[in-house]
């Protein structure tokens, strides 16, 4: 049955069952590669998207729950010509080693900065606590979020 969803401000009609995880719809049906499949259990954060501005693990979020909510993926934060301050900061800080976790780190950070434009280092660490990075890039990731907060202020 066709389902209407709005992703990155564009309305889409997808043919997927209601219990299909949003991540699969984003990647397989809409061709978006920002959200990643990491664990499939909502434990690593690689699949994080914003739903009405809230960081949400799309690997366990069924299509049926999206409804008329706005979904934003990494591709919707900025463009190559006008990147989001977080995207720029992550590049400048060289925050990604393998970069598999970057989608989740950036999306959670975007939600954090939206609600707290001047977070402390502890605020940033607490917000990112549920996101895994196997490369150990955490200090650079925190610096990138601090840089983006400074650029946004």
**pLDDT class of 152 with cuts at 50, 70, 90:** low
Identify the domain boundary among 17, 52, 77: 77
> Over the chain, what is the mean pLDDT?
96
**Distance in angstroms (rounded) separating the CA atoms of residues 5 and 13:** 6
Identify the domain boundary among 12, 43, 77: 77
Does the predicted model carry a pTM greater than 0.85?
yes
State how far Cα 24 lies from the chain centre: 15
In Å, how far are 45, 70, 110 from 132, measured between CA atoms?
7, 25, 17
Q: What is the pLDDT of residue 105?
A: 98
Q: Are residues 73 and 30 in the same domain?
A: yes
pLDDT in tens, 70-116: 999 999 999 999 999 999 999 999 998 999 999 999 999 999 999 99
Q: Are residues 73 and 95 in the same domain?
A: no
Sheet with 54-57: list strands edge to edge: 10-15, 2-7, 70-72, 48-51, 54-57
How many domains are contained in the chain? 2
Q: Are residues 6 and 73 in the same domain?
A: yes
Q: What is the pLDDT of residue 1?
A: 80
Look at residue 153 and tell me whether its pLDDT is greater than 80.
no
């Amino acid at each position: 049955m066709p389902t209407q969803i709005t992703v990155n401000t564009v309305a889409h009609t997808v043919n997927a069952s209601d219990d299909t995880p949003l991540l699969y719809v984003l990647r397989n049906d809409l061709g978006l590669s920002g959200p990643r499949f990491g664990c499939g259990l909502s434990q690593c954060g690689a699949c994080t998207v914003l739903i009405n501005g809230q960081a949400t693990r799309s690997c366990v979020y069924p299509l049926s729950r999206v409804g008329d909510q706005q979904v934003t993926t990494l591709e919707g934060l900025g463009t190559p010509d006008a990147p989001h301050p977080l995207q720029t900061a992550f590049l400048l800080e060289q925050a990604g080693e393998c970069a598999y976790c970057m989608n989740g780190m950036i999306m959670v950070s975007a939600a954090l900065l939206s609600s707290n434009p001047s977070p402390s280092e502890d605020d940033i660490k607490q917000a990112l606590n549920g996101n895994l990075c196997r490369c150990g890039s955490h200090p650079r990731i925190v610096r990138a979020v601090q840089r983006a907060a400074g650029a946004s202020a």
